[in-house]
Amino acid sequence: MLNVGKIEEGYVLDHIEAGQSLELYKHLGLADMDCTVAMIQNAKSSKMGRKDILKVECGIEELNMDVLAVINHNITVNVVKDGEIVEKKELTLPKQIKNVFKCTNPRCITSIEQELPHIFILADEDKGIYRCKYCEEKVGKGDGSKKKNR
Ligand SMILES: [Zn+2]
């Protein structure tokens, strides 16, 4: 594996779909966190063809695992402590997720009533699909393309 600096404590997020690391960066709020991030894009993968890897140096409790699970529950989450991978975390799909993703449907009530929380509910556990609580719009885009690499 390509090594872009070793991290002492934090996460190595592996098997991210190629192109998805920016989305993760945004939704995890990494820009606003006091942490070092290394983003590796389009790395070769025997399993996936191409993949992204995200290394985040931060406190173990600081990353929101629910956000990761909603975006892609197939991501491998390696927990790093004292420079070594000490654990692989299983991502479990939360039943709902609030105020992380915004509904993109312009006709959705959340785009009219600005005060409403953006809530997405787990609609399909097998596929990990989340839908807006109000209008059933899916979270994220391009779900169809995800299958191509697998
Ligand atoms: Zn909606």
Q: Which residues contact 52 (CB under 8 A, 6 or more apart)?
A: 16, 17, 18, 19, 20, 21, 39, 40, 41, 42, 43
Asked if residue 62 and residue 44 are part of one domain, the reply reads yes
Asked if residue 85 and residue 14 are part of one domain, the reply reads yes
Task: State the distance from the centre of ligand 1 to the C-alpha of 11, rounded, in angstroms.
Answer: 32
Higher pLDDT: 133 or 127? It is 133
Q: Which residues contact 16 (CB under 8 A, 6 or more apart)?
A: 24, 51, 52, 53, 54, 72, 75
Vertex 139, ends 124 and 29: CA angle to 5°?
120
Compute the mean pLDDT over every residue in the chain, rounded to the nearest whole number.
89
Task: State the distance from the centre of ligand 1 to the C-alpha of 51, rounded, in angstroms.
Answer: 30
For residue 69, give its domain range: 10-89
Average pLDDT of the segment spanning 57-83: 93
Average pLDDT of the segment spanning 118-122: 96
Higher pLDDT: 32 or 144? It is 32
Average pLDDT of the segment spanning 49-74: 94
Task: State the distance from the centre of ligand 1 to the C-alpha of 26, rounded, in angstroms.
Answer: 20
pLDDT for residue 142 is more than 80:
no
Locate tokens 């449907």: which residue? 105
Q: What is the domain-level CATH number for residue 74?
A: 3.30.70.140
Task: State the distance from the centre of ligand 1 to the C-alpha of 107, rounded, in angstroms.
Answer: 8
Residue 140 confidence (pLDDT): 65
Task: State the distance from the centre of ligand 1 to the C-alpha of 104, rounded, in angstroms.
Answer: 7
Residue 61 confidence (pLDDT): 87
Asked if residue 71 and residue 43 are part of one domain, the reply reads yes
Task: State the distance from the centre of ligand 1 to the C-alpha of 103, rounded, in angstroms.
Answer: 5
Asked if residue 83 and residue 108 are part of one domain, the reply reads no
Asked if residue 101 and residue 84 are part of one domain, the reply reads no
Task: State the distance from the centre of ligand 1 to the C-alpha of 32, rounded, in angstroms.
Answer: 26
Task: State the distance from the centre of ligand 1 to the C-alpha of 81, rounded, in angstroms.
Answer: 39
Residue 144 confidence (pLDDT): 40
pLDDT tens per residue, range 80-114: 999 999 999 999 999 999 999 999 999 999 999 98
